[in-house]
Amino acid sequence: MRERLRAVRLLLAFPFKVDTYRTAGALLLIFCGQLAGVGVAIGLALTTDGAVTRSGDRAIPGIAIFCVSALLSSLGNWGSFVLQTNLLDRATLAVDLELVQLTCSIEGIEHLERPEYLDRIEHLNQNRQNLVTVPTRAATILASGLRLALTVVLLARVEPLLALLVLAGIPLLLASTRRNRKLIQVWDEVGSPTMRLQYVLRHIAGQESGAREIRVFGIQEEFKRGYTRLWNTFTAAFDRVSLGGALLEALAAAFLALAVGFGLVLVAHQADSGAVTAGNLVLVLTLISQINLHLGILAGTANSVGGSLQTAERLLWLREYAAHDGSPDRNSSSELPASLSSGIELAHVSYRYAGADADALHDVDLFIPFGSSVAIVGENGAGKSTLVKLLLRMYQPSAGSILIDGVELGDVSTGQWRSLTSATFQDFVKFEFLLRESVGVGQLDFVDETAAVLGALQRGEASELAQIRSIGLETQLGRNFADGIELSGGQWQKIAVSRSMMRESPLLLVLDEPAASLDATTEAALFEHLTGAARRASRNAGAVSLFVSHRFGTARNADLIVVLNQGRVVETGNHATLMGNGGYYAELFQLQARSYQ
């Protein structure tokens, strides 16, 4: 219940926050338009009576009321429509900005891996306009209600039985509410997930890399079929509810129409016997024909408020998640030293991905001394990237703790840790920016400093890219731009590595498979540089460089080699020790060495 109230408060306040004057104006005009509609009917009745009785006393005010009401009604309806459309555009931008800000402010990335969270975010994206329509809809409900009440009073004055007509509209209201409730449910259960999956398919098919594979494997038709299947699932579920509901609504509307017909016969009969004046007959005809319409508006608007409530609850959830669950350390107070003097320790660290039935990392105990270069090796799926992401605090360990110089990482603000770390991920991003920016975003403060960007390119073994075209750093990258150049896979990887080199002395530098696309010379130079840099950094800040590699030849120079197998650390030591042990590492190393002979 408290949740509901908070959602209502949010919905009522949101448009006022976006634009107070436009919202207030729209509300005023809605009332004006609706109530003037009743004035039109009264004006018509007076005019008719005046005409029939040839009385100017009635006809002249009748015409005046009719004209003023008709003018106010058009002005109200048209003006409120324009203001509402305008408000909707502004509010959509405000909601978009809040969504971007909220999703980016979440400090971990777990919310991007849980389908149920993704569905909620998809719902928000698809229905964001729901957040800004409630005050105007509430005004429409109030004004329509008021108009109906006035209609009832006016009808009852002519014939008390006619007042009961509004009661005949109740089944229509109930049927329409029921249909809407079911539609919301279908949207939640089927709509959001299918829309999201359709987006995934569109995204793959729309990208050059996706298009390539789709053609190589000849799966164009299957893609189309898959997309259509999703579409059909969604529309079938929607149609079922819509059609079932529409049938019930049609029955309820027919019942109301019958009741209205009965009312008309009653009044026509009375008019025939002279008990009802011609003016009242016009009044009844005008008002009665609008009952159906206004009950429909009332039901439709009231129902759409139900949809808005659901969207508001999603936004409140996201706000809450961004503030607490997704960013649990907002109040963390521990400070890290500027340089490491002991090292990084993982104590009984386990991690299980959401929805997985086994740990990706299990009970990892590991000490990484300050100033060391560390290689993490292991087969595919051993847990290397997971370990890296935990160290970078993309996730919180499911069990155990990570200590930086004895300070629990969970007690340090994520912002502080992020400013002390840098990384190249296995699935790095190709930022299609200017070359300067694509590298420079690694430390945005220095993006305009040519020496800093060139230095990063040099540390990333990518200096030759600075000579690309005649404009060097100002070259637009990416084929999405008319003047953009496309790079090779290895060149993109060099840019990603250089980006992580923008921070000259991070406490922790992580490179996950940085050499997968690099040629042998560049790879050798990169690792030589890395180990050299690690040693230099160890003298300054005791920094740790950690890289993941499948090539054992590059790992052998690391100070510490960590061997992972099925989520567990099975061996640690330097190359000589591990070879001496004759264990898993030695076995893998020899296997790889043989394949090169």
What ranges in 428-546 are assigned the alpha helix state H?
435-440, 450-459, 489-500, 520-540
Closest separation between CB of residue 207 and ligand ATP, Å?
A: 20
Closest separation between CB of residue 558 and ligand ATP, Å?
A: 17
Q: At what angle do helices 220-272 and 208-216 cross, to 10 degrees?
A: 110
Nearer Cβ to ligand ATP (356/482): 356
Given ligand ATP, Mg ion, none, residue 415, with its beta carbon under 5 to 8 Å by kind, binds: none
Nearer Cβ to Mg ion (384/459): 384
Closest separation between CB of residue 394 and ligand ATP, Å?
A: 10
Nearer Cβ to ligand ATP (129/565): 565
Tokens of 275: 């008990």
Closest separation between CB of residue 380 and Mg ion, Å?
A: 8
Q: Which of 73, 385, 500, 522 binds Mg ion (CB under 5 A)?
A: 385
Closest separation between CB of residue 385 and Mg ion, Å?
A: 3
Given Mg ion, ligand ATP, none, residue 136, with its beta carbon under 5 to 8 Å by kind, binds: none
Stretch that binds Mg ion, among 57-65, 380-388, 414-422, 537-545 (CB under 5 A): 380-388
Nearer Cβ to ligand ATP (385/424): 385
C-alpha to C-alpha distance for 464 and 207, rounded to whole angstroms: 28
Given ligand ATP, Mg ion, none, residue 378, with its beta carbon under 5 to 8 Å by kind, binds: ligand ATP
Stretch that binds Mg ion, among 54-62, 279-287, 378-386, 515-523 (CB under 5 A): 378-386
Given Mg ion, ligand ATP, none, residue 381, with its beta carbon under 5 to 8 Å by kind, binds: ligand ATP
Closest separation between CB of residue 412 and ligand ATP, Å?
A: 23
C-alpha to C-alpha distance for 88 and 82, rounded to whole angstroms: 10
What are the residues facing 548 on neighbouring strands? Answer: 376, 512
C-alpha to C-alpha distance for 426 and 434, rounded to whole angstroms: 22
Residues forming the site for ligand ATP (CB under 6 A): 113, 353, 356, 360, 378, 380-386, 426
Q: Which residue's Cβ has the minimum distance to Mg ion?
A: 385
Closest separation between CB of residue 414 and ligand ATP, Å?
A: 19
How far is residue 560 from each of residues 372, 373, 555, 565, measured CA to CA in Å?
Answer: 7, 6, 9, 16
> Considering CB under 5 A, how many residues would be counted as binding Mg ion?
3
Nearer Cβ to ligand ATP (383/397): 383
Given Mg ion, ligand ATP, none, residue 245, with its beta carbon under 5 to 8 Å by kind, binds: none
Given ligand ATP, Mg ion, none, residue 360, with its beta carbon under 5 to 8 Å by kind, binds: ligand ATP
Closest separation between CB of residue 166 and ligand ATP, Å?
A: 56
Q: Which of residues 417-436 bind Mg ion (CB under 5 A)?
A: 426
SS3 401: strand
Quote helix, strand, coil % in the chain, to nearest 5. Answer: 70, 10, 20
Given Mg ion, ligand ATP, none, residue 532, with its beta carbon under 5 to 8 Å by kind, binds: none
Pair 49, 62: CB distance under 8 Å = yes
Closest separation between CB of residue 212 and ligand ATP, Å?
A: 22
The label of the residue with tokens 């040099």 reads 458
- Residue 427 exposed, middle or buried by CB count within 10 Å (0-12, 13-18, 19+): exposed
- Around Cβ 275, how many Cβ atoms within 10 Å? 12
Nearer Cβ to ligand ATP (29/497): 497
Cα–Cα–Cα angle for 597, 522, 470, rounded to 5 degrees:
145
Nearer Cβ to ligand ATP (234/492): 492
Nearer Cβ to Mg ion (281/388): 388
Nearer Cβ to Mg ion (166/376): 376
Nearer Cβ to Mg ion (315/360): 360
Torsion-angle region of residue 472: left (phi > 0), alpha (psi -120 to 50) or beta?
left
Nearer Cβ to ligand ATP (349/502): 349
Pair 348, 549: CB distance under 8 Å = no
Given ligand ATP, Mg ion, none, residue 356, with its beta carbon under 5 to 8 Å by kind, binds: ligand ATP
Closest separation between CB of residue 527 and ligand ATP, Å?
A: 17
Closest CA to 266 of 161, 150, 154: 161
Q: What's the 3-state SS for 212-268?
A: HHHHHCCCHHHHHHHHHHHHHHHHHHHHHHHHHHHHHHHHHHHHHHHHHHHHHHHHH
Closest CA to 186 of 130, 123, 134, 124: 123
Closest separation between CB of residue 118 and ligand ATP, Å?
A: 12
Buried b (16+ CB within 10 A) or exposed e, 29-58: bbbbbbbbbbbbbbbbbbbbbbbeeeeeeb
Closest CA to 527 of 514, 508, 537, 543: 514
In sequence order, the 6+-apart residues with CB closer than 8 A to the CB of 47 are: 58, 59, 62, 63, 66, 279
Given ligand ATP, Mg ion, none, residue 353, with its beta carbon under 5 to 8 Å by kind, binds: ligand ATP
Closest separation between CB of residue 213 and ligand ATP, Å?
A: 19
Nearer Cβ to ligand ATP (137/362): 362
Cα–Cα–Cα angle for 315, 319, 324, rounded to 5 degrees:
145
Q: Give the footprint of Mg ion on this chain (CB under 5 A).
A: 384-385, 426
